[in-house]
Amino acid sequence: MLTATVTAAWTDDNRTDAVPDEGEHALVRNAVRGDMAAFESLYRRHAGRVHGVIARLVGYHGARAEDLTQDAFVRAWQALPGYRFESAFSTWLHRLAVNTALMDLRARRSRPQADADEDALEHVGTQDSAGHATALSLDLERAVATLPPRARAVLVLYDVEGWKHEEIAESLGMAVGSSKAQLHRARHLLRARLGDTP
């Protein structure tokens, strides 16, 4: 019960964290009309947020996160003519960034599971937006990076990004029950990696 309440509060808070301003509206309108300079300004404003969520989803693998961030912005440019101003631009872009990372995750599932998670550890703990990384967040980032990709995606989307299981299940093409099971598994693994399990 407590868990459900906390989740709902986090989710709502999460969805309103980027209040659009008039300047942003003008930039988006111009970008929709094909103004590349306006789109560059939007890139400068949102690169940190987009790269942040992608980095979390791919286990802080630096080069892969940067490639996918670039992909996300190219896809955003292509999709902009269809943007209808029904949601905040930042929310629309965030969703697009997540989908870009998840598409990559699905594509990688068909390949050998070597994945780059081992390499990912080398990139964990680069400076955050405040210019520093605490020991706690560093440990946590390292632990998150070592999770199996799908379990990590569910954990990040649910516990960090504040998505609901229904949304996660739809985006990952799985049943709601599977999303819950993956979350349970991810938390269990995470606790074990952090040495928190009895």
Report the C-alpha gap between 127 and 134 in whole angstroms.
9
For the CB of residue 61, give the shortest distance to other proteins in the complex, in Å. Answer: 12
- 180: which 2 tokens? 């819950």
Report the C-alpha gap between 49 and 77 in whole angstroms.
17
Piece in contact with other proteins (CB under 8 A), picked from 19-27, 97-105, 125-133, 170-178: 125-133
∠ CA 92-80-37, rounded to 5°: 110
Q: Which amino acid does the sequence have at 115?
A: D
Q: Of 155 and 172, which has the nearer Cβ to other proteins?
A: 155
Report the C-alpha gap between 46 and 36 in whole angstroms.
15
For the CB of residue 112, give the shortest distance to other proteins in the complex, in Å. Answer: 28
- The answer to whether residue 90 forms part of the interface with other proteins (CB under 8 A) is no
Among 27, 28, 55, 189, binds other proteins (CB under 8 A): 55
Piece in contact with other proteins (CB under 8 A), picked from 94-102, 103-111, 165-173, 183-191: 183-191
Among 11, 87, 137, 178, binds other proteins (CB under 8 A): 137
Residues 6 or more apart whose Cβ sits within 8 Å of residue 122: none
For the CB of residue 18, give the shortest distance to other proteins in the complex, in Å. Answer: 11
